[in-house]
Amino acid sequence: MKKQHLKLTESDKKYLTELLSKGQAKARVIRRAMGLLQLHQGETFQKVAELLGIDYYTVSIWRRKYLENGLEFLSDLPRSGRPIEFDGEQRAKITALACSETPDGRAKWSLQLLADKAVELEMVESISPSKVREVLKKMNSSPI
């Protein structure tokens, strides 16, 4: 079987070697670094895959990504996902509201009342009572 070589630059090889010697990177990054160094030493995709306990195809992807992007491929790109609904400041304001004086005629806050007041005070654009419960639960506050 023909070996699929990868020729690393001296600076890249030095960087990968230092990265592995420190051992302080994420396991995913270390595995990729080890794979690149093995390919640089002339190992086949199959041999590298066996050594690292990964799929042959994964090794070929690493090689392609290295050739396209250099060492930038070692770290994952940010993943898409649902954006954060409420930031820490908004959560803190809702929690502070729940700990504040209750409105006249009320013995304690209700979730609906907190949600309505948070919108009225423009702490948030909109919020449901169940989301108020989640915020308070995460903040370990439960005045209701």
| pLDDT digit string, tens, across residues 20-69 | 998 788 889 999 999 999 999 989 999 999 999 999 999 999 999 999 98
pLDDT at 120: 93
Identify the band that residue 85 occupies on the pLDDT scale cut at 50, 70 and 90: confident
- pLDDT at residue 118 is higher than 90: yes
**What percent of the chain has a predicted confidence (pLDDT) above 70?**
94
- pLDDT at residue 19 is higher than 70: yes
Domain boundaries, the chain: 10-74, 88-138
Output the 3-class SS for 36-104.
HHHHHCCCCHHHHHHHHCCCHHHHHHHHHHHHHHHHHHHCCCCCCCCCCCCCHHHHHHHHHHHHCCCCC
Average model confidence (pLDDT) for the chain? 88
Question: How far is the C-alpha of 114 from the C-alpha of 140, rounded, in Å?
Answer: 16
pLDDT at 16: 92
pLDDT at 40: 92
Mean pLDDT of 72-98: 86
pTM above 0.85, yes or no: no
